[in-house]
Structures are given as structure tokens and as C-alpha cells.
């Protein structure tokens, strides 16, 4: 963003009459003064195109009342969650992970067991071990949200640096897009359950797509309808999603339980396949098959684990987060795969084929007797599955992408726009190809763990061993603050992540095409990647921090500037409670404009006379003409004398350029932000 220096202002020649946008008076960048001469008309095609482009970009901007700054460092969605929004109790946290378990994807997860030589009981056992590992990683990664009420983007700044945080943010955006497509595809199949129950003609709708496309017309219609329906949930704020999650879990569980009860009653048991399927792998192959299924199980939910701080910050208490997460990752994640195995086993006996997807079971019932009972069952089960898929897709993919993109591009993207952008890009991943075979599905799911596990490992090591759970939220909003590290990047974290991720990539390529090479060591490493990559990145990062230490002077905030804690909680943390912080200090830390003295102090317009000593000193360092920017750089960050332009980059908004007292402040601000006034 360009900065506009203003050296002098004509305070006598202004009135309040507005003029048209195409006849505005511009800021002259060459001499730093406001030029009152009207811009000459540009007749060239290039200038007209540029003007149209500028108007288009202006139209695309997020409304000013929905953002507080033009800087990527800060927007309302990045600030710590206020105390009144921390309302997620036990059931809300249980539903956050439960909605994943009660989704259709978990029902079909056991379909790949026989491909790797495991029996169904052995597979369920590997899932339980994977659940325990997921609990440890997830709870370890939940502390920044619990301790400081901040989301994933700020935790990346703590660990990877102001600029380095972009690595983790972009990775999660890409993973969310892939996961969004996968969930939306299954959701589209659930939508077709509803439409099939309404129309016999739609049930037998003719496919008009080319055979080269791995889907039919019905599946395409359901996929598009699900995408449209999901967009409506983005009208909610993320912290209000908990009730949707709770009721979607209840509805989906009741439908799944009803299907299992009906099938077992018809089959007079769980079917022969449930107990008769034996493990074909032996010796070391059997052990590595166990290891791989554990890694796959964690990898499939690793985006949610890395995403944990975004939702643990909503927790009403640590106990609610702990118990909700532990029980949700133990109970439904074990029960629902068993439901899937029972469904496949009973349908094999009853109908002569294993039907893994619940949608296929209802499709069979409708096509072999379009009765009122079958139609009612398909409709109500379809509604419950659609609601669950929408909730899961939104909380794990849509809102996550919206939070990340609003942090990268706050001027043009908010959470709603970011979530819709994710939905649009999910078409590009062609999710219908994920479910052509169980091996393809496994490859996609396990690939998440290859990338995400080292990221989680570095974050946990940084939190517990390096920073020891001490972070300053305010410093994360400063460009050259404590988390600037080396040129904005904590290279130790980047190196540790790369070292942990790289060994698993050849194995992932082999899983896609077994003819690439035949190296059992590489393949086995890939099978156990979730174990190996975690410990590699963990100890590499810790070792690098011991050999190349950095010093953090400001380890935590001295005041609760964001209202994230109750008075009692703040005092226990050694912080001045929010109720005792002045409006001026709150406004200062919420990136409002700052006057030096004399003007009336409000929450949106403050003076340095009412700002406390440390904050006042910080602002003096941010003022034009000073020699510093942000906090004093320590450790490997050398003290630098930087220019006024660099000072403005450190400031969250270049409105702080106008830090002088002026009766014409509003006009100057409007001139700078595009609402231009005509002089007398």
C-alpha cells in the first residue's frame, strides 16, 4: 500500500460540499501537498481502463463499517475473542468434533480395511489408537486459543513470524479447499436422497454427461445444490455456530442408528462379514498396516487439529474444552465406523453386495420398492445428513478459510467472502474422483497428515518448550515487534517444518502410483509418517532454538486491551482488567486514530495525554520523524534507524500519519480515504 505524506494543509479553504467522484481533487505525491487543481480529463484508452479498474476495485472493498484497518496485520476477526462470546460449553465442544464423526465420510472410512490386509476388528482397534494420538495432538495445540483467546492466524505469527505466518495460513487454505470439495461431494449425494424421495422421475434421471466424467447428471445437480445451501450458513458468525453443530449431531446420529437397527433386525444380526473377515497381512506387513491406518485416521482429521485454536478460544472453560474434545474423539469416532461395517456386512447378506455408503442403501430401497415408508426414510435421513454435512463443511473448511483470507486481505475479504471463495474453488479439485476407489480416498486423506503433522509439531514445541506458553497478543499486531524475528520470518520453524514434511513426500507419490519405485523403507516411513514427522519437526525446532536462540523482551501483555478475560482471570494473569483500562488505551490498541493533545477524548479519537507510559512511549516511536518503529528489536533483531515510510508500515494504518492536532482533521481524513471535498 502506498503511503501519502502530507506536509501542510490549507485550513482556510475547505467547506463541506461534496463533489462527484469523477471530479475529485487529488493528493499530489510529488511535493507532499494537497493539490486543489482539478485533474485533467484523460482521453487515452489506458487511462479509461485504469479508471474503470479503480472503480471496480473500490466496489469490491469490504464495507468500511465491517473492517477497522487497511493493514494485513489487524482486522476484527483477528482480535482476541471478547469474554461475552466465549460461550461454548461441554456440548458445544463435543459437537465441534462430533459433527465430523457423524458425517457420511466417517461412516465409509472402514471400506479400505481389506485393501491393507486388516480385519474389521483390527481396523477399529487401529482407529482407537489413532483417536488417542489425535487427542494428544489436538489438546496440545489448543492452548493458544485457551490461554490468549486468539485464532490460528495469530498462533502462526507467534511461531513463524509476521511474514512467515503466511506459510501456515496458505497451507491451511489449500487443505481446506480440498476438504471442502470432498465434504461437498458427499453432501450432494445426501441432497439427492431428498430429491429421490420426492420424484420417481428424478430417481431414474438419465445421465447426460460424457462417460469420461466420473459422475452423472444427478450427482452434479446434488453437488451444486449442496454448495448453494451451504452458503446460507455463512450469514452466521463463527461463535454462533455451536447450536447448529449440536443439533446436526443429534439428527445425524438418530438417522444412522435407525438404519443400523433396521438392517440388523432384517439380517437377524450384524452379518457374516463383520466377524468372518480375517486379516490377510502377516508379520511386519501386519504391523505396518496397523501403523498406516493409525496415520491415515489422524491425517483425515489433522486440518481440524491444526484449526483447534480457532474454536478453543470460544470455550467457556478449559474443562469444557478438554472433556468435550476427549469424549468426542473417543466415542462417536469409534461407533460410527462400526455402524459402517455393520451396514456393509448386513447388506451383503440381504442384497448380495456390500453397500458402504448410506446413500447407496437408501437408493437400493427406493429402486426396489418406491413405497411410502422408503420415501419417508430417505427424506428424513437425507435432511439430517445434509444438515450434518453443511455444519461440518462450514466449521472445518469454510469458516477456517474465511478467517485466514480475512487476515491476508482484510480490505477485500471478510469471513463470509472467504468462505464463499473456498466453496467456489472446491469445484477445481474434482472431488468426484476421490471416491472412485478406496485407495484414492485414502491417499487424499493421508496426504493431509504429511503436511499438517509437522506444522502441529512445531507449534506445540514453540508453545511449551520455547515460549513456555507466554505470548504477547499486542506484539503480534506490530510489523517489527517481538515476532518479527529475521526479516519477519522465524527461519527455525520453517526449517523444522520442511525437514519433517519432506521424507513423507516420496511415499505419498508412491501411494498414488506404485510403479514409480519399489523401496520398502520409503513406503514404511510414509505409513508411519504421523509418528515420525511429528518427532522430527519437534526436536529439530527445539534444537535450532537452543543453538540459535532469540530473545523476547515483551513476553505477555500487561493489560487486557481486548476484553478477553474477566476481571478475576486478568488479575490471575498479572494483567490490568479490561474494566480498569481507559477508553483511550482501548482505542489505541484497537488501531484508532491518535491525536497528540488537546482534542476531546472519545473511544474513537484519543490523545496521548491519556495513554499510559509504555503505550505512549510506543506511539512516540511510531510518530513521523522518529528513529524507531514498533518495540525495540532484541536478540538477533538489531536496532535500526528507519525512514518515515518504514514507520508507517509498522503502524497498523497509515491514518496515524495525521498525528497532529487540526480542526480540519475530518476533512483531511476524508480526503485521504476517497471522500473528497471542494474548497471555496
Whole-number pLDDT of residue 646: 41
In this structure, is residue 388 part of a structural domain?
Answer: yes
DSSP 115: G
Dist CA 365 CA 189 (whole Å):
15
Burial of 662 (0-12, 13-18, 19+ CB in 10 A): middle
Task: Say how many Å lie between the first and final Cα of the chain, rounded.
Answer: 31
Domain count, the chain: 1
Instruction: Specify the pLDDT at position 444.
Output: 63
The predicted structure's pLDDT at residue 451: 87
Confidence at residue 70, expressed as pLDDT on a 0 to 100 scale: 54
Instruction: Please indicate, yes or no, if residue 637 is contained in any of the structural domains.
Output: no
Compute the 3-state secondary structure of the chain and give helix, strand, coil in percent, each to the nearest 5. 65, 5, 35
Nearest to 304 by CA among 141, 462, 525, 414: 141
Enter the DSSP assignment of 42. P
Are the C-beta atoms of residues 190 and 358 closer than 8 Å to each other? no
In order along the chain (680 residues), what is the average pLDDT of each group of 10 residues? Answer: 40 39 39 46 61 70 58 77 92 94 88 78 89 92 91 92 91 89 92 94 91 88 94 90 94 95 92 79 86 86 85 92 94 92 92 91 92 94 95 92 81 84 90 67 68 92 93 89 92 96 89 80 89 94 95 87 90 89 75 37 41 46 36 39 39 38 40 38
CATH assignment of the domain containing 395: 1.10.4160.10
For residue 660, give the nearest of 6, 4, 36 by alpha carbon.
Answer: 6
Structure confidence at residue 260 (pLDDT): 95
DSSP 415-478: HHHHHHHHHHHGGGG-GGGTTSSHHHHHHHHHHHHHHHHHHHHHHHHIIIIISTT---TGGGG-
Within 329-369, residue ranges assigned H as helices are: 332-351, 358-367
- What local confidence, expressed as pLDDT, does residue 3 receive? 39
Buried b (16+ CB within 10 A) or exposed e, 439-454: eebbbbbbbbbbbbbb
- Number of neighbouring beta carbons within 10 Å of residue 19: 12
Q: Where are the beta strands (DSSP E) in 494-607?
A: 593-595, 605-607
- Measured CA to CA, the distance from residue 385 to residue 379 in angstroms comes to 10
Domain extent for 135: 83-293+302-429
Residue 289 forms part of a structural domain: yes
What lies within 8 Å, CB to CB, of 407 at 6+ separation is 72, 75, 77, 78, 153, 169
- Give the length of the chain: 680
Whether residue 568 is contained in a domain is answered as: no
Burial class (CB in 10 A: 0-12, 13-18, 19+), 477: buried
* Residues linked to residue 605 through DSSP beta bridges, in sequence order: 593
Position 73 in a domain: no
Q: Which cell numbers hold the place of 422?
A: 473456498
Q: Each residue of 144-163: pLDDT tens digit?
A: 999 999 989 899 999 999 99
How high is the pLDDT of residue 448? 75
Amino acid at each position: 500500500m502506498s503511503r501519502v505524506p502530507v506536509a501542510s494543509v490549507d485550513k482556510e479553504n475547505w467547506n463541506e460540499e461534496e463533489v462527484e467522484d469523477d471530479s475529485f481533487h487529488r493528493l499530489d505525491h510529488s511535493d507532499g501537498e494537497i493539490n486543489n487543481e482539478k485533474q485533467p480529463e484523460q482521453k487515452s484508452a489506458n487511462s479509461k481502463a485504469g479508471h474503470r479498474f479503480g472503480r471496480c476495485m473500490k466496489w469490491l472493498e469490504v464495507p468500511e463499517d465491517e473492517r477497522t484497518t487497511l493493514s494485513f496485520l489487524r482486522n476484527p476477526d483477528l482480535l482476541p475473542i471478547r469474554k461475552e462470546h466465549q460461550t461454548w460449553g461441554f456440548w458445544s465442544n463435543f459437537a465441534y468434533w462430533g459433527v465430523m464423526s457423524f458425517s457420511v465420510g466417517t461412516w465409509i472410512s472402514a471400506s479400505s480395511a481389506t485393501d491393507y490386509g486388516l480385519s474389521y476388528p483390527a481396523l477399529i482397534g487401529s482407529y482407537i489408537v489413532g483417536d488417542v494420538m489425535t487427542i494428544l495432538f489436538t489438546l496440545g495445540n489448543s492452548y493458544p486459543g485457551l490461554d490468549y483467546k486468539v485464532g490460528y492466524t495469530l498462533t502462526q505469527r507467534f511461531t513463524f513470524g509476521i511474514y512467515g505466518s503466511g506459510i501456515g495460513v496458505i497451507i491451511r487454505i489449500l487443505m481446506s479447499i480440498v476438504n471442502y470439495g470432498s465434504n461437498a461431494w458427499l453432501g450432494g449425494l445426501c441432497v439427492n436422497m431428498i430429491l429421490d424421495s420426492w420424484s420417481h422421475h428424478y430417481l431414474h434421471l438419465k445421465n447426460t454427461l460424457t462417460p469420461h466424467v466420473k459422475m452423472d447428471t444427478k450427482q452434479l445437480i446434488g453437488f451444486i445444490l449442496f454448495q448453494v445451501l451451504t452458503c446460507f450458513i455463512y450469514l452466521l458468525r463463527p461463535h454462533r455456530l455451536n447450536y447448529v453443530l449440536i443439533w446436526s449431531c443429534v439428527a445425524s446420529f438418530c438417522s444412522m442408528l435407525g438404519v443400523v437397527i433396521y438392517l440388523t433386525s432384517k439380517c437377524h444380526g450384524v452379518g457374516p462379514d463383520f466377524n468372518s473377515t480375517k486379516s490377510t497381512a502377516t508379520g511386519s506387513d501386519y504391523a505396518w498396516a496397523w501403523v498406516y491406518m493409525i496415520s491415515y485416521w489422524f491425517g483425515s482429521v489433522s486440518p481440524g487439529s491444526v484449526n483447534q485454536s480457532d474454536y478453543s478460544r470460544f470455550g467457556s472453560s478449559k474443562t469444557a474444552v478438554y472433556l468435550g474434545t476427549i469424549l468426542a474423539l473417543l466415542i462417536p469416532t469409534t461407533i460410527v465406523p462400526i455402524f459402517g461395517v455393520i451396514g456393509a456386512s448386513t447388506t451383503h447378506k440381504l442384497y448380495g453386495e456390500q453397500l458402504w455408503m448410506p446413500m447407496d442403501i437408501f437408493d437400493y430401497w427406493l429402486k426396489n420398492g418406491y413405497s411410502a415408508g422408503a420415501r419417508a426414510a430417505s427424506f428424513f435421513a437425507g435432511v439430517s445428513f445434509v444438515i450434518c454435512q453443511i455444519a461440518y463443511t462450514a466449521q472445518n473448511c469454510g469458516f477456517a478459510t474465511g478467517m485466514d483470507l480475512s487476515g491476508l486481505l482484510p480490505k477485500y475479504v471478510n469471513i463470509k467472502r472467504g468462505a464463499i471463495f473456498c466453496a467456489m474453488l472446491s469445484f477445481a479439485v474434482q472431488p468426484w474422483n476421490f471416491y472412485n476407489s478406496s485407495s484414492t480416498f485414502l491417499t487424499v486423506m493421508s496426504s493431509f497428515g504429511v503436511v499438517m503433522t509437522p506444522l502441529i509439531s512445531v507449534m506445540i514445541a514453540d508453545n511449551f518448550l520455547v515460549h513456555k506458553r507466554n505470548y504477547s497478543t499486542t506484539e503480534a499486531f506490530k510489523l517489527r515487534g517481538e515476532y518479527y524475528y529475521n526479516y519477519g520470518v522465524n527461519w527455525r520453524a520453517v526449517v523444522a517444518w520442511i525437514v519433517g514434511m519432506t521424507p513423507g513426500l516420496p511415499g505419498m507419490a508412491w501411494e498414488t502410483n506404485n510403479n514409480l519405485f519399489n523401496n520398502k523403507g520409503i513406503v514404511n516411513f510414509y505409513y508411519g509418517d504421523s509418528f515420525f514427522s511429528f518427532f522430527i519437526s519437534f526436536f529439530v525446532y527445539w534444537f535450532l532454538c537452543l543453538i540459535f536462540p532469540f530473545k523476547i523482551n515483551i513476553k505477555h501483555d500487561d493489560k487486557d486491551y481486548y476484553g478477553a478475560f474477566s476481571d478475576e482471570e486478568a488479575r490471575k494473569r498479572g494483567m490490568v482488567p479490561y474494566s480498569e483500562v481507559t477508553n483511550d488505551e482501548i482505542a489505541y490498541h484497537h488501531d484508532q486514530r491518535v491525536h497528540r493533545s488537546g482534542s476531546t477524548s472519545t473511544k474513537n479519537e484519543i490523545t496521548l495525554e491519556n495513554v499510559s507510559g509504555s503505550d505512549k512511549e510506543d506511539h512516540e516511536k511510531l510518530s513521523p520523524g522518529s528513529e524507531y518503529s514498533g518495540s525495540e528489536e532484541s536478540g538477533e533483531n538489531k536496532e535500526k534507524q528507519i525512514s518515515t515510510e518504514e514507520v508507517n508500515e509498522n503502524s497498523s494504518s497509515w491514518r496515524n500519519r495525521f498525528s497532529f492536532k487540526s480542526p480540519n482533521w475530518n476533512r483531511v481524513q476524508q480526503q485521504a480515504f476517497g471522500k473528497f471535498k471542494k474548497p471555496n
